[in-house]
């Protein structure tokens, strides 16, 4: 669908895009479904009073949900390529769905009035977080990095992070955080952050933060670009074991040795994919 200088206002009940929507302006102004294998090179605008329900995975450029408008994703994946893809001033109902950033230039992760369930990063140029966001299900870094940019991603007690080698959450400031009840964990990679805990003890409600700022103070040494702050409700006599996982992109020039710091300094030889020591 093309049309130089024209605007399209859709009033129907079902819009199937099997090609390209390339009109300068496109507006949904009714209760309708949206499906198809096509894609958009213009913004999909949802006007006040319109309710658009996605019934299949779909590729968008960007979307503007106006005040009084509603976009329902169902259990589908909505993919976006624009640098600032989602303006959300209405209602976004996206429980059980995935929102994927799959552009080719750096994309900003839209945050205003958005709770993510599945958030997928699939952009070789990477993405940047502009505000704090919650992720209630899975944060997947498939291709490219997610730069925290001094912001916070709060992963729900049932949420999980997945990354691929060389494609990670990163940032000189900001952090990932999750809080969940942990009782006698056995090789538990909490929220997929990379801190794997084993203990026969009950930790209770435990907050785990993962950041990527360089740490200092180890007799003048500095750290790799990943750290964990683990704060359990019960923190005595744990006899716990921590396996500390990291990506090679986070080594920060530490090619000869690494240090794991708890109450003591423990040397970890280079070449181990993760450090395992009792704390």
Q: Is the pLDDT score of 261 beyond 70?
A: no
Q: Which position has the token pair 């003048």?
A: 220
What tokens appear for 129 in the block? 């977080």
185-219 confidence digits (pLDDT tens):
999 999 999 999 999 999 999 999 999 988 777 67
What tokens appear for 134 in the block? 């919650």
Q: What is the pTM of this model?
A: 0.89
Average pLDDT over residues 67-85: 98
Domain boundaries defined on the chain = 172-279
Task: Report d(CA 229, CA 51) in Å as an integer.
Answer: 43
220-254 confidence digits (pLDDT tens):
777 788 888 999 999 888 888 888 888 888 888 76
Name 168's bridge partners. Answer: none
Task: Report d(CA 63, CA 57) in Å as an integer.
Answer: 15
CB 277 within 8 A of CB 241: yes
Predicted pLDDT at 169:
97
4-37 confidence digits (pLDDT tens):
557 899 999 999 999 999 999 999 999 999 999 9
């Amino acid at each position: 669908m093309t049309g130089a200088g024209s605007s399209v206002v859709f009033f129907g009940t079902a819009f199937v895009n099997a090609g390209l929507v390339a009109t300068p302006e496109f507006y949904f102004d009714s209760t309708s479904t949206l499906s198809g294998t096509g894609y958009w090179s213009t913004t999909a605008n949802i006007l006040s009073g319109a309710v658009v329900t996605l019934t299949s995975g779909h590729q968008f450029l960007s979307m503007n949900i106006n005040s009084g408008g509603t976009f329902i994703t169902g259990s589908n994946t909505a993919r976006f390529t624009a640098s600032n893809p989602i303006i959300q001033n209405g209602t976004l109902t996206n429980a059980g769905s995935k929102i994927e950033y799959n552009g080719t230039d750096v994309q900003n992760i839209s945050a205003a009035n958005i709770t993510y369930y599945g958030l997928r990063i699939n952009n070789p140029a990477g993405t940047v977080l502009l505000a704090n966001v919650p992720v209630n299900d899975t944060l997947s870094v498939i291709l490219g990095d997610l730069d925290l940019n001094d912001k916070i991603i709060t992963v729900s007690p049932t949420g999980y992070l997945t990354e691929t080698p060389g494609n990670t959450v990163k940032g000189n400031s900001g952090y990932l955080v999750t809080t969940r009840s942990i009782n006698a964990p056995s090789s538990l990679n909490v929220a997929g952050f990379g801190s794997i805990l084993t203990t026969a003890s009950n930790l209770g409600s435990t907050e785990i933060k993962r950041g990527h700022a360089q740490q200092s103070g180890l007799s003048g040494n500095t750290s790799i670009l990943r750290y964990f702050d683990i704060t359990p409700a019960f923190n005595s006599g744990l006899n716990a074991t921590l396996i500390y996982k990291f990506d090679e992109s986070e080594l920060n020039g530490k090619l000869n040795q690494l240090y794991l710091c708890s109450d003591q300094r423990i040397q970890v030889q280079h070449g181990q994919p993760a450090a395992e020591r009792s704390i």
